[in-house]
Amino acid sequence: MSFKRVWSATGVVALTGALLLTTASTASADYVRDQQWALNAFAADDVWAESQGQGVTVAVVDSGVDASHPDLSGQVLAGKDFTGGGNAREDLVGHGTKMASIIAGHGHGSGNDSGVVGLAPKAKILPLRTLQTRNDKNLEETWGPAVRYAVDQGAKVINLSFGSDGGSKTTSDGREAIAYAQAHDVVVVAAAGNEGIGSVIEPAALPGVVSVGAVDEKANLWTDSNTGKGLTLTAPGVEIVGANSTMSNGYGESSGTSEATAYASAAAALVRSKYPDLSAGQVINRLIKTATFAHHKGLKAPDEEYGYGIVRPYSALTMDIPAGSKKNPLGQLQSSSVSSQSSKGTDSSTQAKKKKKSSSGSLLLIGGIAAVVVIGAIAFVVIRSRRNGGSGGPGSGGGSPQHPTYPSAQQPYPNSAPNQGYSTPPGQFPQPPNSYSQQPPHQGQ
C-alpha cells in the first residue's frame, strides 16, 4: 500500500493511507466553547442527561493523545505505542489529541466552562500510537496489531480516523484485525475520506465498519466528504474546534471526515454506556434507525451522500427500538484465524474430536488393507483442509472483498416526536430553518 500527502483546494490536508489530517487555525479557550456548534446541534445537555459515556473505553488509533492537555486530564489511559518506541500519551501531530477531545474532552477551569467538551465526556480514551509525525506511514502491520490490542484491553468502540491511499485495498493485516474486533463485539468506526470522490475508502468501506461522512452546521454534506456505496452515517465535520497541542494555545479548528468519525464514535460510546447489554450490532442498529436526513427531502436510506442519515445521539438513546438481532446489520468480516481465536479452539477441537471418533469407528469395522485405505483418505482430507486455511477456500485473511451490504429487511423506523434528536426543547435553542430536528429517514428496500 502506497502513501502520499494530498492538499485540497479548501486547505484540508489528507495524509492518505495514514491519518485524514487537516490544517487547523489557532483558537482561544473561549472561542473553543463558543464555536462548538455540534454540541448545540446534538442538544448536548439533553444527551448528557441520558448518558455521558461512563464505563466505556474508546480506542483512538492515531498519532497518540496528549494526556497532559487540560481538557483531557484523567480521561486518557496508558495505551501503547506501536511505532517502535515512545509514549502513546504524547502527540507530535495533534490529530489523535483532537479526536480524543471530540470524543471525551471535559473542558477545564471554573465549572469546566473553558476548552473542549466531547460528546461522551465520561468515556475513557485508550491511545494507540501508530505514527509519530505527518511524514510517517501508517502501515497495516502497525495499526492492525493496535486494533487487536484495543480489543484485548476491553475497548468497546474503536475510532479509525484514517484511510488507504486512492482506492488501495486493506490487506490481510488490517482485515484480520477488524474481523477480530467484530468477532469480539466491538463497534469499529472509520472515516469515509476527504477526497470528495464517489467512493468510500477502506477500511471504512469494509463489511461491518461504520463509515462516516461529514456535514456542516446546516446539515449539508461537506464538499470534500467522500460519498458512494458503503457510506453508513454522516456527522458534524466542518469547522470543528478541538484540542491540539501542536498549536501555541492548545486548540485548533479544521474540517474533515476524521472529526465526523470521532463524533460517531462518541455516539456509539453513549449508547454502549446506557445499554451495556446490547451487542455491537444492536448499537449500530440504533444509530442507523435514529439517523436523520434533516431538511433533505425525498431521500431514501441508504443514500450515497448521507448514508442512513446524520447521527442523532439523543434519539439513539431515547427512542423505543426493539433490540432485534445481535448481528451487525452492516455485515461482518469473516476469518478462519479469527474464528478459531474467538472460540479459543473450542469449535476446532470439537470438530477434531468428531473426526477422530468417526475415524475410530470406521477402523473398528474394517481391517487389513481396507484400514490402510481409510487412513490414507483421512490424511489426504486433513492435509488439504489445512492447506486451505480451514475455511474451505484458498488463502488467508477471509472476508468478502466487496463493499458492506446494508440490511435488506430492517424494521420500520419507530415514530418519533418532530423535535426529537438534534433539536433542543423549545425556548432553549432557536431552531434555524435547516435544523437537524426532523423525522428519521424512511427505509429504502
Query: Among all residues, which ones are annotated catalytic?
Result: 62, 95, 258
E strand or H helix at 106:
strand 106-108
State the CB neighbour count (10 A cutoff) for residue 276.
Answer: 10
**Is residue 278 a contact partner of residue 271, using CB atoms and an 8 Å limit?**
yes
Distance CA 227, CA 195 (A): 9
| Helical packing angle, 280-289 and 257-274, nearest 10° | 110
Sequence-separated (6 or more) residues with CB below 8 Å from residue 277 = none
Cα of 116 vs its chain's centroid, Å: 21
Distance CA 223, CA 214 (A): 9
Distance CA 438, CA 51 (A): 22
State the CB neighbour count (10 A cutoff) for residue 384.
Answer: 9
The CA distances from residue 410 to 324, 340, 444, in Å, are: 9, 30, 9
236 three-class SS:
strand
Distance CA 308, CA 441 (A): 7
Distance CA 408, CA 445 (A): 6
State the CB neighbour count (10 A cutoff) for residue 359.
Answer: 15
C-alpha cell at position 302: 441508504
**Please, what sign has the CA dihedral across residues 43, 210, 83, 53?**
positive
Sequence-separated (6 or more) residues with CB below 8 Å from residue 56 = 120, 123, 124, 156, 157, 269, 272, 273
Only one residue has cell 474467538, namely 342
DSSP secondary structure, 252-264, as one string? EEE-SHHHHHHHH
Q: What angle do CA 134, 137, 143 make, to 5 degrees?
A: 110
Sequence-separated (6 or more) residues with CB below 8 Å from residue 6 = 13, 14, 15, 16, 195
